[in-house]
Amino acid sequence: MNLYDRIPNNVNLSEDKRLQRALEKWLPNFLAWWHDMGPEGFQEKEVWLRTAVDVGSEGWAHFDYVKMPDYRWGIFLEPAQPDAKVGFGDNYGQPAYQEVPGEFRNALRRIIVTQGDTEPASVEQQRQLGHTCPSLYDLRNLFQVNVEEGRHLWAMVYLLHGYFGRDGRDEADALLERRSGNPDKPRILEAFNQPCDDWLNFFAFTMFTDRDGKYQLSALAESGFEPLARTCKFMLTEEAHHMFVGDTGLSRVVKRTAQLMKQNPNEDVRALGGIPLDIIQKYINFWFSYSLDLFGGEISSNSADFFAAGLKGRFKEQDQYTDHVAAEGSFTLLVVEDGKLVPREVPLRNALNEILRGEYVKDCEKGLARWNKALADEGISERLFLPNVRFHRHVGEYAGHYFDLEGKLITKEEFEAAKSEWLPTMEDREYVGSLMKPVTEVGRIANWIAPPATGIKGKPFEFEYVRL
């Protein structure tokens, strides 16, 4: 098998013998990890998957049946821009960095490792879900997300091997050694250690947690370190499908719940095997709050340093800002002081995590609007909502304090007393789990979710997306 078949790429890998050797050494370890920690029980099945074969805007993806271990994980970067420039910060307008700037080497490696760690983590979190799929269409989407997270891991490992030498190689190995939820060797970020063991979790995860990925990748896609920018730009095209799976998945659950509410005089969907709106709301509260943590502290000197260095920008830095230096200006946020919420003004560059988080929240709200439209269309008056950004936080200014869903500061006792109304209880999880029975006949779907409006890539819903 030639090199391109083993490691598809558009980075001229055959001309870089050192990198080629490093990646060929890593490849069997990756496959061993995929075998141990990838989707359980479906490795030998043929799945109708899209594979990245090139980065061109047309036809970059190829659809066909493939067994997941034979998926062509590859290294694809957006084409280089001739005379690319640093797009923001203190070095604004200077030539983009083709190598890692020395003084930011450790910090940049940390960013890449942290992003890279999320990719295999989510595959591990989702590895049992295939056994309880609501339809073949959903099963295929799960596996599509899984193999692309595997490819995203390749993308980050390429950067580590290609630009960081020995410590990069060690970090690439460690990415295959940590395990989601394992107390002895956990994944780096907490959202990626939470169990994702039912399909409502899966849809909320891909809606909220993969969407954090979109914003992190977008900020890095503006990076003055050009190999990172080009890598992240291409990952974003794949990420869009993951968020589609989550957004439409939740929309379909909400729609089905609304239909069942109308069928029962007491609007009791449990009696009809549906997922009640209050449980859906709790899952939203849980995954939204954990995903907010992924943006880091509200006030952050790291974010200021990274922006100054031209390494991590804002969302759509080039399209939606005119001042790319942002050396002046301030941002006001609420912090807890002496048991009260008070405004504090911080330099703009120190508030960039919070500004990115704000963009993310706006995007999430659009999802909520779509789900509420599904409720309205079915004639149901109840509405779903996002909790306040201060609710249930474990990172940043609000960690260690307690807030209600509206963001009002409350005591620990008040929080504990209301917790079972705000976050999924063991009983809620068990109830959702009890509905998770596999439906694997072509064209059929579980009772707790509505079918999708259309299939994938022109295929109908009634298509054999996975050959079991």
User: Which residues form the interface with Fe ion (CB under 5 A)?
Assistant: 119, 149, 152, 210, 239, 242
CA torsion, ordered 25, 31, 33, 35, to nearest 10 deg = -160
Tell me the C-alpha distance between 351 and 307, whole Å: 11
* CA 1 from centre of chain: 33
Tell me the C-alpha distance between 208 and 373, whole Å: 19
152 or 392, CB closer to Fe ion?
Answer: 152
Give min distance, CB of 139 to Fe ion, in A: 17
Give min distance, CB of 304 to Fe ion, in A: 26
152 or 393, CB closer to Fe ion?
Answer: 152
Give min distance, CB of 441 to Fe ion, in A: 28
Give min distance, CB of 210 to Fe ion, in A: 4
Give min distance, CB of 69 to Fe ion, in A: 19
91 or 291, CB closer to Fe ion?
Answer: 291
SS3 state at 85: strand
Give me the helices (H) in 38-104, please. Answer: none
Tell me the C-alpha distance between 128 and 432, whole Å: 15
Give min distance, CB of 116 to Fe ion, in A: 9
Give min distance, CB of 343 to Fe ion, in A: 35
191 or 435, CB closer to Fe ion?
Answer: 191
Q: Which residues 6+ apart lie within 8 Å of 53 measured at CB? A: 8, 59, 60, 61, 62, 72, 74
Which helix (H) or strand (E) is 125 found in, with range? helix 105-125
> Angle at Cα 446 formed by Cα 121 and Cα 382, nearest 5°?
85
249 or 310, CB closer to Fe ion?
Answer: 249
295 or 422, CB closer to Fe ion?
Answer: 295
Tell me the C-alpha distance between 89 and 99, whole Å: 18
331 φ/ψ angles, rounded to the nearest 5 degrees: -135, 135
Residue type, 5: D
Give min distance, CB of 154 to Fe ion, in A: 11
Tell me the C-alpha distance between 269 and 92, whole Å: 57
Which helix (H) or strand (E) is 353 found in, with range? helix 352-377
Strand order through the sheet with 466-467 = 61-67, 46-52, 466-467
Give min distance, CB of 242 to Fe ion, in A: 4
Alpha-carbon Rg for the chain in angstroms: 23
341 φ/ψ angles, rounded to the nearest 5 degrees: -85, 120
20 or 231, CB closer to Fe ion?
Answer: 231
Helices 226-263, 277-293: axis angle to 10 degrees equals 170
Tell me the C-alpha distance between 349 and 306, whole Å: 9
Burial category of 239 from C-beta neighbours within 10 Å (exposed 0-12, middle 13-18, buried 19 and up): buried
Give me the helices (H) in 51-135, please. Answer: 105-125
Tell me the C-alpha distance between 130 and 198, whole Å: 10
116 or 162, CB closer to Fe ion?
Answer: 116
Give min distance, CB of 32 to Fe ion, in A: 20
239 or 293, CB closer to Fe ion?
Answer: 239
Give min distance, CB of 403 to Fe ion, in A: 28
234 or 306, CB closer to Fe ion?
Answer: 234
Give min distance, CB of 291 to Fe ion, in A: 12
250 or 374, CB closer to Fe ion?
Answer: 250
Q: Which residue shows structure tokens 């090199």?
A: 3
Tell me the C-alpha distance between 79 and 397, whole Å: 40
220 or 446, CB closer to Fe ion?
Answer: 220
